[in-house]
């Protein structure tokens, strides 16, 4: 048998032994839609971080891990995801009046880690 054929067979065996993820197991985060105006993002973030939403927005405060970059879009993304992760199993969504969207790419950066709750 050629080395190439042996590598192909081994690769297929490894892939067939790997557990497949169900649709529900894929990781998803909620982030701000870049096309949404800052004023709409700010209003949605105010709700998410305020008494109505219940997001944990402490990490986007000055001198905290997710303060930078200090933009409405970045802060809204963190707030939207915090809300989504906390309430997605209780009927919460990533809608925010069309200001947010779901991504399967982890938006964490540098020391700012976005929460994911399976």
pLDDT at 87: 97
**86 and 56 Cβ atoms separated by less than 8 Å:** yes
Domain ranges (residues) in the chain: 21-103
pLDDT at 18: 46
Average pLDDT by stretches of 10, the chain with 118 residues: 59 52 73 98 97 94 98 98 97 96 97 96
| Global confidence as pTM | 0.79
Rounded Cα distance between 31 and 109, Å, is 13
pLDDT at 52: 85
pLDDT at 85: 98
pLDDT at 38: 98
């Amino acid at each position: 048998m050629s080395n190439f054929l042996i590598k192909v067979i081994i690769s297929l065996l490894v892939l067939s032994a790997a557990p497949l993820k169900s649709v529900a197991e894929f990781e998803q985060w909620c982030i701000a839609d870049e096309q949404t105006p800052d004023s709409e993002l700010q209003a949605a973030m105010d709700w998410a971080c305020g008494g109505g939403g219940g997001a944990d927005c402490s990490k986007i405060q000055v001198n905290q891990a997710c303060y930078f970059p200090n933009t409405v879009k970045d802060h809204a993304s963190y707030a939207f995801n915090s809300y989504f992760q906390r309430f997605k199993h209780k009927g919460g969504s990533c809608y925010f009046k069309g200001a947010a969207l779901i991504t399967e790419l982890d938006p964490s950066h540098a020391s700012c880690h976005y929460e994911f709750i399976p």
